[in-house]
Copies of this chain bind each other. A is one copy, B any other.
Amino acid sequence: MKHLVVASVPAPGGTIPLSGSDAHYLLQVRRLRRGDFLDCTDGRGRVCRALVSAVTGEGLVLTVQEILGDAPRREGASEASPGGAPLEVLVPLLKGKLFDRVLRQVTELGADRIVPVVTRHCVKRPPREQAELRKKNQRWETIIREACQQSGRRCLPELALAQELPALSGQGPGIVFHELASRGLSREAVAGLWAGGGPRRVLTGPEGGLSSGEVSDLAGRGWLVSSLPTPVLRAETAAVAGLAIVLHLQSELDLPSRS
């Protein structure tokens, strides 16, 4: 764990009380003791070094020693690329542990917003009840938080509620990877798409693939339909490979304006 995500990071001298599973992890697994140090972030860009100042029956108390960084992500900006708009990753619902894994990996890679997407061939459907949907998101948020703690990301990506693809496709164009596309993603095409501003959207297919109707609908709405270097990939691999390629091109494009 690079740092702990806490509710808020007070000024130096302020305290952060911890109980429950965080306290259990720090005391039993990490074996922290009074006098040990630990870095914390509020998940919005503020990071501190904290001292374990007390271990109590219920948990432990951290005292903030020093603010290591305080650069909250600006509204409409990206954590990974200060020169760019936020990166929105559309992840199709996948069976079992696959979705959890992709969620963890796109968080690590630097998604600013993650949208679980229901497409025509999705084997997995989201729960119908709003309450169930929120409960599911709470579990996913725990996975995202752990991924941030492990990779040292300062800002927690936002997690949207699961949405149907047609509703999403009209919100503005993005990049969609599809095995039948005739060409790979070029820097020029990405630069052209992103010149319009707005969130930078990336979508890969679910286990059954995107339907040709879905892809032509996206293309009609200005989406860039691109192939991956390897045509047939499992959904899990395509999500990580596609995002990595987009991030690579983004780092080339944003380079001059990078802070």
Interface residues of A (CB under 8 A from B): 2, 80, 105, 108-110, 150-152, 184-186, 228-230, 232-234, 236-237, 240-245, 247-248, 250-252
CB-CB under 8 A from A230, the residues of chain B are 80, 108-110, 151, 247
Q: Are A80 and B229 in contact (CB under 8 A)?
A: yes
- Chain A at the B interface: SS class: helix
Residue in A185, A186, A237, A243 whose Cβ sees the most chain B Cβ within 10 Å: A237
CB-CB under 8 A from A232, the residues of chain B are 2, 108, 151-152
Q: Are B241 and A229 in contact (CB under 8 A)?
A: no
CB-CB under 8 A from A237, the residues of chain B are 105, 108-109, 240
CB-CB under 8 A from A240, the residues of chain B are 105, 237, 240-241, 244
CB-CB under 8 A from A80, the residues of chain B are 229-230
- A204 to B109 alpha-carbon distance, docked (Å): 15
CB-CB under 8 A from A229, the residues of chain B are 80, 109-110, 244, 247-248, 250-251
- A230 to B185 alpha-carbon distance, docked (Å): 19
CB-CB under 8 A from A108, the residues of chain B are 230, 232-234, 237
